[in-house]
Structure 1
């Protein structure tokens, strides 16, 4: 080949660099001050939240010596999560979301301070800790419902998928780092006090970022919040196949394919140790996927990608259940975590772009309930199946059933499979999703058009 025929290496390298940049996490939303502060604040706070998620059950076991008492933390947290997730979403559609977000965050922080106080005073009351866990779950449910409704008001609609990718990556990173920090702190004398104090300090970052938000009133008020407005939100979901499917596939994926409750048995009887890495493998996979999530923002067929991601989650979980080699199970669980991040970003993006602004709070409330309740029901299902059958059937058998059900649903509900994000967004929805910022520092030139 002559020099004239030789390919130019520079464009090749440039093209490769371009493709790699396209895969890397899309950080453009961080150019928007309000979103950047919220991202950094919540990303810092979630580490402390996960520290308390570990410390409270460990303290309960330290006081009672009862695994049943520890198990009650899930129950006392689930009920207020459901009730206040739904009601908080209705309130978020009727009031200034910044005010509601700040109020619920302050409640969550106050509970952390109460947990710290009871530890410092040596109260040693399981009932008190469970009560505080329930109140904290209520505050978290309201703030989560509101936070999801806030994102489309902070970034242009074109950047909503990228913003969700960043948020989920930060959350899963916190889910990995927080328990490690908790394990370190709990190893010291007065470790419970150190753990709660760490949460209280880290959570101030979220309070600051929330305080700095602009006013975020819904474009159209939903009226007085109550049972009727909650039911209106549920009816809206039932009347829209795309939304209904996005919720149903997540419930099926979590209930039938979440193996978390089986990890202790698998570590004890199959792998003879290594339970900690089993618990963190899914989150690690999600973090790695988040770092290479730049392509998600360019996806138009969100329904197709969501379906494939859920199928990938269930398939990887099923294969991990058959694995008798420890490292292979870890790799497969990490692959499942990567698929879960993709499905989570797609679900949230569909919810935030498909739904009108005056319904976002209520539907984010339902989303919070599904995200919180699905894995807990999955734990119950897995434990009951393992007790009645075998570890492999409880782990892999139900995951295979998940694959079958999701495939049937995708074929049966064609609007979901054909859903096109770009085609569905009307001019009115775009206007709802991106209200004008109320302060100059919250404006940003995106280069993406009006």
Structure 2
């Protein structure tokens, strides 16, 4: 693994802050759907969490990216982290008091995702200001690997700790991690716009970002292929029901739930830890397409798996493929976008990466309620493979894209 970016103190501080929250945020990621399922007993309501999260992700992801292009990104990152910490504390309070309102949980989730949508594109846009262009793939791999490391051990920790400490404690641990992260962000250098003009971001800035994206087919295609992979193929809304009714977890939660949430990141981490080879790949568009096809095939296998460990294996294969796709898509965005547009491109990236799975939560949750979890998951994998083939035919420039080439 190429660790050269960690020799740069500002990037190292940003990376350490991400590392601290990587596990903590995943405790909440597991706790929210589990609490919703416990309150309702329905995967349909778990899927509803995706719809509730989607609106703030769309609005504040795009607007937050525009803001990140017009203000000091360090200050905006502090605001975003502080907001998430406050909401996590409120999630702990409602769970500890035993209020038992699924609508309160969903409302707090919406606020959580609003701050997340501001925070994520800002954090991503900062990277290209902290490291030279030649180290962007390595920096992306380091950041992605640490995030995936958290999504491996966070869910496993949640599955192990939930029966012992109780679900409310997971929210409290996430809050503590976020407060520690605020310190590392505070120590970053000032990151105002390179133009020196700090101003308010409006609707025109958001629309300028869309026009910029639409004019470059490779950038547009990078979003399209990820939407296909995540919306059609991400089955995480099915995990609580499958853990309990397919793989035998007790009603209060157990290790099967943790393993299902951790399996995709396990595959991603394995790729990240051996990511040195990614820097030598030039046909990046082709590799992204092939990786997404592997992802779709793995999800088909997951849906048909009859045992927990076989299901975990297929999800891990999918996670490895998704990591390869993510590193190259992010590298393309970082290298191709100018600094004055980088926040908006990362905002769109956040909407796709985070919003796609929320749409998938809704689609998979309600599909499973009608036809069962196995058919919902495997059918989604088939749809991924079919749609990605159509996308390549309609957007051939992405298939032909090579590293360092002029973006079409």
Q: Does TM, scored on the shorter chain, surpass 0.5?
A: yes
The CA distance in 2 between the partners of 1:394 and 1:66, in whole Å, is: 18
CA distance in 1, matches of 2:30, 2:238: 18
In the other structure, the counterpart of 1:318 is 300
1:142-157 → structure 2 map (5 Å cutoff)? 142-157=118-133
Cα distance in 1 for partners of 2:35, 2:370 equals 31
Alpha-carbon distance between aligned partners in 2 of 1:43 and 1:321, rounded to the nearest angstrom:
31
Decide which of 259, 264, 274 is 1:292's aligned counterpart: 274
* Partner Cα distance (2:308, 2:164) in 1: 31
- TM-score with structure 1 setting the length: 0.80
Indicate which of 360, 379, 388 corresponds to 2:361: 379
- Distance in 2 of aligned mates of 1:268 and 1:121: 25
The answer to whether the 8 A contact 2:64-2:122 is kept is: yes
Whole-Å separation in 2 of the counterparts to 1:138 and 1:115: 15
Cα distance change on mapping 1:155 and 1:401 into 2, 3 Å? same
- Aligned residue number for residue 386 of structure 2: 404
Whose relative contact order is higher, 1 or 2, with alpha carbons under 8 Å and at least 6 apart? 2
1:47, CA displacement in angstroms? 1.3
Aligned residues: CA RMSD: 2.7
SS in 2 for 1:186: helix
Give distance in 2, aligned partners of 1:165 and 1:346: 9
1:360 and 2:342 matched: yes
- Asked if structure 1 preserves the Cα contact closer than 8 Å seen for 2:62 and 2:348, the reply is yes
| Matching residue of 2:289 | 307
Residues 319, 105 of structure 1: CA spacing in aligned structure 2 closer, same or farther, 3 A cutoff? same
Q: How does 1:10-21 map to 2 (within 5 A)?
A: none
- Measure, in 2, the Cα distance between the counterparts of 1:119 and 1:321: 32
Give the aligned partner of residue 147 of structure 2. 171
Q: Deviations over 1:310-354 (max 9, x none)?
A: 122112222333444554333222111100011111111111111
Which residue number corresponds to residue 253 of structure 1? 229
Task: Give the distance between the partners of 1:219 and 1:379, measured in 2 at CA.
Answer: 39
Secondary structure of the equivalent of 1:421?
coil
Check conservation: 1:316, 1:332, Cα contact below 8 A.
yes
Aligned to 2:170: 195
User: Structure 1: 5+ residue runs without aligned partners?
Assistant: 1-24, 426-450
Shift of 1:268: 6.6
Q: CA deviation at 1:123?
A: 5.4
Larger Rg belongs to: 1
Counterparts of 1:408 and 1:184, CA distance in 2: 42
Contact 1:57 1:70 in 2 (8 A): yes
Shift of 1:185: 3.9
What displacement does 1:139 show?
A: 0.9
Q: Which consecutive unaligned segments of at least 5 residues does structure 2 have?
A: 250-255
> Which residue is 1:82 aligned to?
58
1:210 counterpart residue number? 185
Question: Shift of the alpha carbon at 1:66?
Answer: 5.3
Shift of 1:244: 0.8
Q: Which residue pairs with 2:138 in the alignment?
A: 162
Aligned counterparts, 1:67-78, within 5 A: 67=42, 72-78=48-54
The number of equivalent residue pairs is 399
